Structure 1
């Protein structure tokens, strides 16, 4: 199939949406499909994302400008959008897959109308929970109402929705969205998570092999709830005076979190590592942890939990929205309520017991296999084919005389 993917975000911007898109495109390309991704140009770093040589796909970068209230992201320029529409309309597509609801959505809908191609959109982000953090000067109820109304309009503009979890489907149903949907998580490429050397990471960063260590991998943003994890770490230091908390990721909340870490007296117990290479040092960082901790309440998927499972890192996490789906029946995780004392108690019990850590670690790869992207992408292709065939049948139907 000829598949056009459109997004307002992609690497080098590091987040779950970028990771999900890359997984989609690489696996589909390895299956023999021709994939073209249109994404913003971030400048000199835009060409640095490497593929594995077995899932190559075309990436078209469009000129974009910085968004003043969210400088990590880019807004594709309107002039570039018009040029891209003209060029892409000259090509043939079996399906258009939209990944974000901004200018990429607009481009996808216009192309679909022009060429008669079916459209799929993945609802990656729980915008109602996010928007207030980026526009804090606006009234929260007004922002939530706007997010719901915008979601209805956008979702009703496409033929089909891919929603990562059943919990997110319930949210969209509550918005009054009637567009047909399919629950299809992205999953991960398990082969990428068969490596990683925690001992090497510890040695390179002067972390003693026996030092109790927590790790989290996350964009540093308010909605990821990392401040909660810092307060949990503070509670644990009394019992584990050598405790170390490794935080991998970057984001707009980094300055506040570093300041909070100092205010909590955790200068010797927390290290911020920024974004690490996903194929080398990030895998090592995961495996350097005795426990992977996570408490974001807004995930539509929670891919980092699946990555931790695949790498055999014991998990303590809350289970809300997408993380509830990932952690359901997982034998590699301990689920906690979002309460500092309770969460710290669960972590402490895992840290105290080598046997518990070994059991959770051993169960991780088996839990992760449920989320193998290869099997999940077969379902995506089947959906693409159904939509393409339905559109072809509609186009072939004779027009009835009035």
Structure 2
């Protein structure tokens, strides 16, 4: 098949959408399919080396873009530039359009699908109802929720099928009034590539001894990730484990706020911000070095970083909220503590005090992660594509 994907975000912009696109696209190509991706150009990427990793592919079409006032990390593609691609795309025998984001990409994707005569599917990656208020705090939260629900309902009902990463997200969209067929399909992991990355010495690079308890968070450093919760619970962990360290790996707009919070708690030496970590072995070794991966987001539609930790044998302690619930399995190396900092800390302390339990959870984690392979998830997505294309062909006869 030849699939046309379109998204308002992609690398070098780092988030779950970029990672999901990259995972599915890489595996589709490995399975013999062609995937063309339309995404923004990032002319002022801060890390040009990181951007270069994704600029040499002839099937990635970068669209001139402009900045977004409320979100300096993102870019807005120029709609007219996308439509100029129609004659070229019409000559390429595209079978299906897959939209990944609800902004310019959504409306341009619908237009492209009509011009190409193909079915159109959309992935619902972001729980906007809970996300928007972190960026538009001057508007009432109730009004933002209302608008997010109307916006999502309208867009989701305008496509032929939806891909949702978890059952809670599907249930929420049903409650909005979405009637489009939905398929639950989380992003998978390339387990072989992820597990065989070169090993570096993460702990020694940060001056953390092997006998010091190490907690790890990996992800975007943004308000909706609820990293404040992890910082607030950490003093209770340090009370029982005075040499424990919490490492926060990632970058994002909340870093300054979180650093000030850490300083106010006098935890500068115990909570380390290490920035973005490349997937060339550095990130993988961070997971391997940790005793426990901790996660407190309440707005995840999936939580891919949880699976990454489990795949490398690192047990997870996470709030059982939204899409995270579908990932967490207490028989698969996971703890699901209560949604309160002190009780979360109690659960963390309990497992840190029992090394044998940590070893058992690590074994369970790796076994459980095997069922989330990118190969399996991509094959399921291709099956959905084939069904849509077949239905489209039959309806046009």
TM-score norm. by structure 1 comes to 0.94
What is the alpha-carbon distance in structure 2 between the residues aligned to residue 199 and residue 335 of structure 1? 30
Asked whether 1:58 is paired with 2:62, we answer: no
What is the alpha-carbon distance in structure 1 between the residues aligned to residue 200 and residue 210 of structure 2? 7
8 A contact 1:187–1:376 mirrored in 2: yes
Asked whether 1:316 is paired with 2:320, we answer: no
8 A contact 1:216–1:292 mirrored in 2: yes
Deviation at 1:175, TM superposition (A): 0.1
Q: How does 1:48-197 map onto structure 2 within 5 Å?
A: 48-49=52-53, 58-195=59-196
Superposed CA offset, 1:8-51 (max 9, x none): 00111111111000001000000000111111111263742359
Gap change, CA 1:195 and 1:233, over 3 Å in 2:
farther
Deviation at 1:208, TM superposition (A): 1.2
Deviation at 1:285, TM superposition (A): 1.2
Structure 2 equivalent of residue 354 of structure 1: 355
Which shows bigger deviation, 14-23 or 327-336?
327-336
Deviation at 1:224, TM superposition (A): 0.5
Superposed CA offset, 1:254-282 (max 9, x none): 11001101111111101101111023211
What is the alpha-carbon distance in structure 2 between the residues aligned to residue 359 and residue 329 of structure 1? 12
Deviation at 1:84, TM superposition (A): 3.0
What is the alpha-carbon distance in structure 2 between the residues aligned to residue 50 and residue 84 of structure 1? 20
Structure 2 equivalent of residue 327 of structure 1: 328
Deviation at 1:83, TM superposition (A): 2.1
8 A contact 2:83–2:112 mirrored in 1: no
What is the alpha-carbon distance in structure 2 between the residues aligned to residue 328 and residue 176 of structure 1? 30
Asked whether 1:15 is paired with 2:15, we answer: yes
8 A contact 1:197–1:287 mirrored in 2: no
Deviation at 1:239, TM superposition (A): 1.6
Which shows bigger deviation, 263-272 or 322-331?
322-331
8 A contact 2:79–2:108 mirrored in 1: no
Gap change, CA 1:246 and 1:47, over 3 Å in 2:
closer
Gap change, CA 1:318 and 1:64, over 3 Å in 2:
same
RMSD after superposition: 1.8
Gap change, CA 1:163 and 1:57, over 3 Å in 2:
farther
8 A contact 2:95–2:118 mirrored in 1: yes
SS in structure 1 opposite 2:240? coil
Deviation at 1:92, TM superposition (A): 2.1
Which shows bigger deviation, 199-208 or 374-383?
199-208
Structure 2 equivalent of residue 282 of structure 1: 283
SS in structure 2 opposite 1:188? coil
What is the alpha-carbon distance in structure 1 between the residues aligned to residue 388 and residue 61 of structure 2? 25
Deviation at 1:335, TM superposition (A): 0.9
Deviation at 1:329, TM superposition (A): 4.9
Structure 1 equivalent of residue 249 of structure 2: 248
What are the ranges of 5 or more consecutive residues in structure 1 without an aligned counterpart? 397-402
Structure 1 equivalent of residue 3 of structure 2: 3
What is the alpha-carbon distance in structure 2 between the residues aligned to residue 137 and residue 383 of structure 1? 41
Structure 2 equivalent of residue 394 of structure 1: 395
TM-score norm. by structure 2 comes to 0.95
What is the alpha-carbon distance in structure 2 between the residues aligned to residue 57 and residue 393 of structure 1? 33
Structure 2 equivalent of residue 36 of structure 1: 36
What is the alpha-carbon distance in structure 2 between the residues aligned to residue 57 and residue 94 of structure 1? 19
What is the alpha-carbon distance in structure 2 between the residues aligned to residue 67 and residue 89 of structure 1? 31
Which shows bigger deviation, 276-285 or 122-131?
276-285
Structure 2 equivalent of residue 24 of structure 1: 24
Deviation at 1:361, TM superposition (A): 0.8
SS in structure 1 opposite 2:10? coil
Gap change, CA 1:204 and 1:197, over 3 Å in 2:
farther
Deviation at 1:88, TM superposition (A): 2.7
